[in-house]
Structure 1
Amino acid sequence: MSPKVPLFLGVLLLGPHVCSWNFENVSKTMDYFSICVEFAVFHFNQHQPDEYAYKLLWVGRSQRKKFTWIYLMDLKLGRTICKKHDEDIDNCPLQEGPEKKTAKCTFIVDVRPWYTQFNLLNSTCEQK
């Protein structure tokens, strides 16, 4: 029996377990997750036709795909009184009354930390 056969059989048996693509919960304060949240909010604001900026209200689901740098997040965003290109959106008050709007979004972001590169793989949002 060739020495490669046991290795091949081991890969066949362990491969599906080791290469599982399931997401697992991660801390919302984890460095790369937090940066991915900022990227997702920035991307949302840049591609939103609304002239007003949205800011993060809360983070729901915070997960990472096993053995990757792909993050899945559920975010609730609130419409502020600031414009998209204003500087300090995080400290900007939310709009009230009939102008008040929120968005519940799910984002999947792939990060390449060694290049400081972020790619939005998917996003879905529901505005209210």
Structure 2
Amino acid sequence: VEEAKKFVKDTGCDALAVAIGTAHGDYPKGYVPVLNFERLAELKKALDMPLVLHGGSGSGEENIRKAVAGGINKINVCTDAFHAAKNAMLKKLECKPNADYLELCMTAEAAVKQFVKEYIRVIGSNNQYFYGESVSTGNE
């Protein structure tokens, strides 16, 4: 925690990716990391800034929900999004071996959009913003 405070002071960064047990990329099959939520609480208390969870892919919904509840403001899950795109493209090719590049790209895009929608629900951010509309909080 002291090292994080010094780093923030020395660099003036706007957000900090914290080390609480995750890593970028794929974990071994069946492995779910054990996150250090005590350290997260200490960091959140000590730092007045957004905290980032690097390597959120494969961390499991329970860990992600708990991390958000504990103060994580941004989560990197690109590996999971890439898997969703790849799996959708492979499925498309199984069903339609002659699918062209554009079809595969559109399939991948749709799969990533669906992944993002589901992820937004996992982290509890669904129904928080509606594009083009102002949502009243009742506190105006």
Same fold? TM cut 0.5 = no
Structure 1 or 2: more strand by fraction = 1
**Larger C-alpha radius of gyration, 1 or 2?**
1
TM-score, normalised to structure 1, is 0.29
